Structure 1
């Protein structure tokens, strides 16, 4: 009764297939597995796009708060320091209008499609392969094993999507009153590759990988541990019967737990990305994750590692809750629940 529609993919229709003979079942199995994989990729992509779009304004405020200390005078893009979520939202709206609240979201959605699809697909695939290797039911994994599988899924998703994430950070801090350095996603990628080198698009991926692996690992482990417990408590026997509120609740808890552990790495990742960007004015050059960590702690204190965490909590709980809820609903819609 656990996650990811395993009855449909691995064993639910096995009785009828076995009865009709192994000759027919053998060639059909790879086709069925491929078809299911495409459905998982689709469900993951849709879940990511829907969840991130709901909190785009909070994401922009978070990024601006994270990098404003690198701006000249410690002031942000609009020449004003934002200390609260509400202040940031008001400042963006008054300076750039409602459209400004969603600046960079197009890039975010484009980035999140491969990111989220890869994440859900790799976790689903690894869970199945691991289950078969261990000779166990595909869902018979403990929280520690789920943590490792989720971490691997997180690493894969970063490698696939990092260049788009890098560009999103640059686009988000372009102010309305400054001459735009980039006109869009493609232009930004081309300009960065031409002026700073192709590998610049992967600058800062080390802290991103280090941060995302435990983040996604804790996220998936928490969700897929809480979900069967909650289903049992409320008498839900299959994923097809899973109520929306339950997947939202489990997803929210999973998001909060993961964010608490991984946030400092997210902040360091943004700092790496802003180096060398005209307007960010960073004089310090971070040569390594350890160096960046020491510099932030020395100049801003331990609290500096959690700068912008408040708006991120407000964003991450609903975004992860919506992500898992939409994925579960897409599984029902696509017939893999």
Structure 2
């Protein structure tokens, strides 16, 4: 049978988890690098700032003001942090995902309990990923902020550690897990279900990966936005001139502050750029992952 006709999910015998990890690393770097400017806008829109210059009414307003006052290159500040962190973190992410999915029977034919198995694999993957990626994400967001004086990843990391201690890199970790575990479970289960629906033959189909990945990313991103707002508040608390924000100790404190400052609408801060980030970035991530895993396995 020709390669084009074989079931895509059935990669050649002997292909180990290393293939998935390498493909995942490449996919993660591609995803974060391409969509980084939109992510920078999302971060700025979520931060509670007392400076009028750091308050934006929308994506268009943010781009116009940033380009005229700081230059568009500012939107790429901090990209080195996610590139350095995304490679190993995504390798661990996809490696864990494939191991757990295989162990729980997620690769078996049919849809019986598929969603539960995929969701469980996704949850395990994100716990491992976030443990490694959280410090890099803190550095990234500190560098993305309006008026940030940090010009390198090492400078930012050293400053945060000296002024706030190691806890600053992980104060948002419980909130991050509260967000990313359901995000990943929703994303993976939606992706796998959409992939099987759009491509029941299981053949290699880049268009299927793009469509399924984009839909999965948009849905998961929208649903978990409230937790992302809380995460951003905690990860950038050290830069705030608001005593209450600086002393926020976790998700409960963050939720109280958001509710009291903006009410229910505060939990949707940055919703549009978040969805616009995750739809194309997730589509690109799955496209790259499926391609690289197939290419490295030598079966394209």
Normalised to the residue count of structure 2, the TM-score between the two structures is 0.89
Q: Over the residues paired in the alignment, what is the CA RMSD in angstroms? A: 2.3
Q: Deviations over 1:37-66 (max 9, x none)?
A: 222111101111112222121111111111
- Distance in 2 of aligned mates of 1:168 and 1:291: 22
Q: Of 102, 110, 117, which residue of structure 2 is paired with 1:128? A: 102
Residue matched to 1:210: 178
Q: Deviations over 1:146-184 (max 9, x none)?
A: 112211111110001111111111111152xx6x2x331
Higher mean displacement: 223-232 or 286-295:
286-295
Q: Is the 8 A contact 1:5 1:336 kept in 2?
A: no
Structure-2 change in CA distance of 1:6 and 1:246 (3 Å)? closer
Structure 1 residue 308 displacement after superposition? 0.9
Q: Does 1:283 pair with 2:235? A: no
Q: Is the 8 A contact 1:52 1:109 kept in 2?
A: yes
- Distance in 1 of aligned mates of 2:250 and 2:271: 23
Residue matched to 2:50: 72
- 1:1-337 mapped onto 2 (5 Å cutoff): 6-8=9-11, 12-13=12-13, 32=14, 36-67=16-47, 69=48, 71-73=49-51, 75=52, 79-131=53-105, 137=108, 141-175=113-147, 180=149, 182-232=150-200, 236-238=201-203, 242-277=204-239, 280-284=240-244, 285-335=247-297
Structure-2 change in CA distance of 1:139 and 1:282 (3 Å)? farther
Structure 1 residue 212 displacement after superposition? 0.6
Query: What is the count of residue pairs matched by the alignment?
Result: 291
Residue matched to 1:25: none
- Distance in 1 of aligned mates of 2:154 and 2:276: 31
Give the number of the structure whose alpha-carbon radius of gyration is greater.
1
Provide structure 1 residue ranges, at least 5 long, that are not aligned to the other structure.
14-31
Q: Deviations over 1:3-61 (max 9, x none)?
A: x96533xxx54xxxxxxxxxxxxxxxxxx46xx22221111011111122221211111
Q: Is the 8 A contact 1:5 1:331 kept in 2?
A: no
Which aligned segments of 4 or more residues in structure 1 are displaced greater than 6 angstroms? Answer: none
- Distance in 1 of aligned mates of 2:158 and 2:132: 18
- Distance in 2 of aligned mates of 1:313 and 1:116: 20
- Distance in 2 of aligned mates of 1:260 and 1:91: 25
Normalised to the residue count of structure 1, the TM-score between the two structures is 0.80
- Distance in 1 of aligned mates of 2:250 and 2:18: 38
